[in-house]
Amino acid sequence: MTRFESFKAFDLSQGMLDVLEKKGFFKPTPIQIHVIPLLMKGDRDVIGQAQTGTGKTAAFGIPIIEKLTGNTGSIQALVLTPTRELALQVSEELESLKGDKSIKIVPLYGGQAIRNQLKILSSGVDIVVGTPGRIIDHLEKGNIELDSISYLVLDEADEMLNMGFIEDVKKIFRSTNESKQMLLFSATMPTPILKLAKKHMRNHDFVSVSQDDIIAEFTDQVYLELTEEQKFEALCRLIDINDGFYGLVFCNTKSDTIDISQRLSERGYAADALNGDLTQDQREGILKKFKIKRLNILVATDVAARGIDIVELTHVINYSLPQDAESYIHRIGRTGRAGKQGTAITFVTPADSRRFESFVRAANADVRKETIPSAKEVISTRTKNFKHDIGQMIKAGEYHDFLKMADALLDRQQPSAVVASLLKYYFQDTLKEEHYPEPDVGGLKIDKGKIRLFIATGEYEGMTPEKMPAFLSRESGINELELETVEVFSKFSFITVPKNQADMLLKRFADMRKRNRPFVELAMNSTVRENRKK
């Protein structure tokens, strides 16, 4: 199989090769190397053992699109998926692969009005991507016929089994013709899946791709040893030091996804939570924003992240260690896809160390240890990246729309003063080391019984160092506060007080968030970032 170093070795049309080059697909993945020749030959069924992220949609999509002719008036291929998210993602991927070829692709899933789907079906469809329940709805209503299809693809068969869809799948199989070519993909091969394949498949080839090998090739794996209290500050620094960060942050509980995403939003990051408490409309809305990069950080549980398959992810962060090695492998396999390099970072507390070591052994992974970036490192990297981005923008000439405004500003002010003011407007106080408090024992800044606190109010609200004592006393009811230091920035402030007074302030201000009032937190947990863009 080593001869398949590029897609040209598969005897694909020039149109398909052009599409793949435009998508940035130059080197086929292992599952594509095995599956594409079998489907192009077209005389055997295929069972593929491969997880999400191995490139299997293109593995079956490329040959199917190559061999189909459009406008036949009947459904030529059916792809079954366990979730509506995966149905949408698969249909979108197939759309991106068809290029200029006249092939109509439609996703069918619950939650959409059948009337709207029927209108699309009546106009003629070549490929249907759907969930089992909705496909059966259309079969029972006589809206679709599957007795002359050329291809039937069962994607993520083990998830179908886990979600209780196998009987529906069998029912759909009985509605199809025997002459079709069948493909079954599954991350694992439990007995019911193997029985299903044996009963409904003709002569077939079995293809197995190791997720471990793919992860090792395209994913840089890193871990940080830290305390529970240090995690959030470490997360923020990692986001800031990695230009163009676009990633998933995995937690183990719904409450953690909400808490972390809210704290990230408070610091100015474009983040949101994905968990089982969301309605389907809310979930789809969040995923849409994430895919178009209006959000660049998604904080999710393992269950809620099912069906998410995004090639461009730069990072996966294991904020909390998963329960088992399989989940660990599945998480880190979500980056480094389709030949694109990615980074998986795992936070390891002292209590996690032994379990993490067992995960690394199970994944046969090469994982290196790193430390939390220092404040100086983050600021230096952000400054360097900003200068580079500005240079690239000038080189590309992407500034002409603002030349008139620039000339007007420079006509009245010194150039250096204008540039410095624009930098201040953009960065505010985020390039000061105070913005990144150094983690200390237990994640707190402690100095001889003093504790540093964050206050969610600043210059924009008229706060000054002189006004701070009266403000805190009035809001908390605590008189004679001993403020060691007071630092007031644009939208937030820091104070240092004795530990007993810090405890009292934290208790009194505990419900401020709920009442949308200024709140107080430990500086380690809440150094609010001055906003980039609202």
Q: pLDDT: is 501 or 126 the higher one?
A: 126
CB 7, CB 20: distance < 8 Å: yes
Tell me how far apart the alpha carbons of residues 61 and 63 are, in angstroms, rounded to a whole number.
Answer: 6
Range list for CATH 3.40.50.300 in the chain: 7-209, 213-373
Whether the predicted pLDDT of 175 surpasses 70: yes
Tell me which CATH code domain 213-373 carries: 3.40.50.300
What is residue 516's predicted lDDT score, i.e. its pLDDT? Answer: 52
CB 183, CB 90: distance < 8 Å: no
At the topology level, CATH places domain 7-209 in Rossmann fold (3.40.50)
Whether the predicted pLDDT of 1 surpasses 50: no
What is residue 445's predicted lDDT score, i.e. its pLDDT? Answer: 45
What's the mean pLDDT in 340-367?
84
Whether the predicted pLDDT of 248 surpasses 90: yes
The C-alpha angle 8, 11, 15, rounded to 5 degrees, equals 75
Architecture of the 434-522 domain: 2-Layer Sandwich (3.30)
Tokens matching residue 436: 């990144």
What's the mean pLDDT in 366-380?
88
61-94 confidence digits (pLDDT tens): 999 999 998 777 789 999 999 888 888 889 988 9
Q: pLDDT: is 1 or 137 the higher one?
A: 137
What's the mean pLDDT in 128-140?
94
Whether the predicted pLDDT of 526 surpasses 50: no
CB 435, CB 529: distance < 8 Å: yes
Query: Per-residue confidence at 525, pLDDT binned at 50, 70, 90?
Result: very low
Tokens matching residue 172: 């759909």
What's the mean pLDDT in 109-126?
88
Whether the predicted pLDDT of 511 surpasses 60: no
For 466-490, the three-class secondary structure string (H helix, E strand, C coil) is CCHHHHHHHHHCCCCCCCCEEEECC
Lowest mean pLDDT among 110-114, 358-362, 437-441: 437-441
Q: How far is CA 480 from CA 5, 115, 455, in A?
A: 74, 69, 18
Whether the predicted pLDDT of 317 surpasses 90: yes
Tell me how far apart the alpha carbons of residues 7 and 17 are, in angstroms, rounded to a whole number.
Answer: 7
Whether the predicted pLDDT of 440 surpasses 60: no
What is residue 533's predicted lDDT score, i.e. its pLDDT? Answer: 36
State the average pLDDT for the chain: 83
Range list for CATH 3.30.70.330 in the chain: 434-522
135-145 confidence digits (pLDDT tens): 999 999 999 99
What is residue 335's predicted lDDT score, i.e. its pLDDT? Answer: 74
Determine the 3-state secondary structure of 317 from DSSP.
strand
pLDDT above 70 covers a percentage of the chain that reads 88
460-505 confidence digits (pLDDT tens): 889 999 999 888 888 887 877 888 888 888 878 888 888 778 878 8
pTM of the model: 0.56
Evaluate the CA torsion angle 392, 313, 333, 49 in order and state its sign: negative
Whether the predicted pLDDT of 169 surpasses 80: yes
DSSP β-bridge partners for residue 348: 225
